[in-house]
Amino acid sequence: MAFADENIRTDKDNLMGFSSEDRQLVTIKTNDGIEITAVDINGQAFVGDILLGNTQELLKHGLIVVDNSQQVYQSDVNANAAIIYPNSGAVWPNGVVPYVMSSSLSSSARNALYYAIDHWNNSGTGIQLVARTNEGSYINMINAGGCYSMIGRQGGVQNLGLAANCGNGAAVHEIGHAVGFYHEQSRNDRDNYLTINWSNISSSMQYNFQKMGSGGMDHGSYDYYSIMHYFSTAFSINGYPTMVPTDSSINLSVMGFAQVLSNKDLSAASYLYGGGVNPSLPATPSNLVASSITSSAFNLTWSAVTGASQYDVERWLDNTGWVSAGTSTSNTINISGLSNTDQWVHVKAKNNAGSSDYSDYIHVQLADVAQCDGISIPAEPVTINITGSGFTLSWSATTGADYYQVQIWNQDTSAWNTVANVNGTSHDITGLTGITVYARVVAHNNCDDEPQASSWITITLAATSCTVAPATPTGLTYSNSTYYQFDASWSQVAGATSYDVQLWNGQWVDAASSTNASVSVDKLYPGGSNYLQVSASNACGSSSYSNYIAVN
């Protein structure tokens, strides 16, 4: 999991593996008068997972805002996220970032760094991490008690620390710091997007929520899903959120848990390493031409668009509208598997900044396409082999149909769910729960004609082997706890066929399920208390949740 300040120890007694006796808060002034609170750990100044440098040197000289003529202690560049210093001293020349991996790194940390390096190198932002040869300035990737990095190019050797349990997302995040990104929630405009619950944050940890002030520059719109964003309960003293998005639609199980760069991260990186020019939207494609037309396919070409990295192509279906016909990284694509005589297609261009409008469509007439005569309404299906969890559905062949969708009514969503696409006239449906099921078949052809649905039928499943829901589980415990995962177990419950496990992170959320009385959970939320509970289920229902326990 990628946590902004992820995998640094954030409980009240421990930070990055150092005891509270090893650290103290210090106030460092920048050369433009801004005061920044940092924590001193063994002579090094940190803000969360950001290493500023030697504490005494920073107290003596201050934190110098990046300038080409000055010593750089911190470059403070934040991804779209980004608080960006637009001076070239903060970035790596030509986007080339030399690195050395220490032999002290654990195998898991090394694998996470290889993942992150590959992800950055293939991001299309102009950033390339390369193994050091003889460069004087480079990143020294070392084993550490947590995860941390300096921000931007410092000049000389700069450490990036990664513990064994940091993970892939953390490695991407720390390299983000090293190439010049600060935390997303440190943007100067963050109060428009987040409410900071200071009462849920220890006073000794509130420095982690500082804004960068006049020294930084925000790039692009706020990005809740940036690789550089904190998770909602980061540094919480009570398990309740320290940050609440002003946008209630934001998914808190995603915010702060990114594994990859977001589109806005990519845009910010391209801005920072693209000569200071923000990538612009590509122009709308033009001059669409169809060629090599057959009864089921054709080639489509168009004029290449400057700055485009990908093209999205759509075709029109009378009963559906525009649907994807594929993507291409060049100005041509083959569209196949077609059946209608008449085809309409259009295309748009994309890059890290976004997408163009779709082009004007063109009409393509396929060669020698067999015509369809429409689809008859299917006869009512019948059932055989009814059990407590399934049945076989069969039906008569329908005139004009090339295939059928088997559908079951979902009472939770009040909609028909397709469980299978079938070329024949029967299908086995399994894994059902409950007593009553509603089913139907929908006939389709390959000409995109209007599908036709049968009338639905009611199926009463055979009696199940249970008579009551299972009892509430007891004996809940956990073991093998790491920074972000653990194993949970409990006493087997008679008659239970499955178990559901939940974690508390400001609210109860589903964490895992199992058919046995144990499970591995990989959704531990760092930075606060976690609580665990479990319920048992069978075909007759579910138990109440067990008494919860704390997971440390």
Element (H, E) at 270: helix 263-272
Mean pLDDT across the stretch 130-156? 89
Strand partners, 299: 291, 334
268 and 407 belong to one structural domain: no
**What pLDDT, on a 0 to 100 scale, did the predictor assign at position 280?**
64
**Domain containing residue 300: CATH number:** 2.60.40.10
* Rama region for 174: left / alpha / beta (φ>0; ψ in -120 to 50; rest): alpha
Instruction: Give the distance from CA 321 to its chain's centroid.
Output: 29
From 6, 174, 184, 314, active-site residue: 174
Verify that 330 and 389 share a domain, yes or no: no
Q: Is 174 a catalytic residue?
A: yes
| pLDDT tier at 23, thresholds 50, 70, 90 | low
> Is residue 6 in a domain?
no
Q: Which of 460, 495, 530 is the endpoint of a domain?
A: 460
Model confidence over 305-340: pLDDT tens digits?
Answer: 988 889 999 999 877 788 999 999 899 999 998 887
Domain with 106 in it: what CATH number?
3.40.390.10
Query: Residue 4: is its pLDDT beyond 50?
Result: no
337 plus 200 within the same structural domain: no
| In a domain? residue 470 | no
Is residue 9 situated within a structural domain?
no
One domain for residues 128 and 204 = yes
- Does the predicted TM-score (pTM) go above 0.75? no
CA atoms within 13 A on the CB side of 545: 15
117 and 149 part of one domain = yes
Could you give the number of structural domains in the chain? 4
* Span 480-500, average pLDDT: 88
Give a yes or no: residue 117 inside a domain.
yes
Specify if 178 maps to a domain.
Answer: yes
Please check whether residue 277 lies inside any domain of the structure.
Answer: no
Do both 542 and 511 map to the same domain? yes
Range of the domain at 444: 382-460
Domain check: are 96 and 214 in the same one? yes
Together in a domain, 450 and 506: no
- Shared-domain flag, residues 213 and 358: no
Do both 99 and 146 map to the same domain? yes
Same domain, 386 and 506: no
CA distance 231 to 416: 36
């006493």: which residue's tokens? 491
184: in domain: yes
**Distance set, CA 344 to CA 317, 338, 360 (Å):** 8, 12, 10
Looking at the chain, the whole-number percentage of residues with pLDDT higher than 70 is: 80
Query: Residue 47: inside a domain, yes or no?
Result: yes
Distance CA 406, CA 420 (A): 5
Give the separation between CA 249 and CA 332, rounded to whole angstroms: 38
For residue 470, the model assigns a pLDDT of 92
Query: What amino acid is encoded at 68 in this protein?
Result: N
CB 86 within 8 A of CB 273: no
Enumerate the β-bridge partners of residue 428: 392
Q: What burial class does residue 515 get, using C-beta atoms within 10 Å of its C-beta: 0-12 exposed, 13-18 middle, 19+ buried? A: exposed
Residue 224 and residue 195 share a domain: yes
Tell me the average pLDDT of the chain. Answer: 81
pLDDT for 61: 55
The pLDDT, as a whole number, for residue 35 is: 66
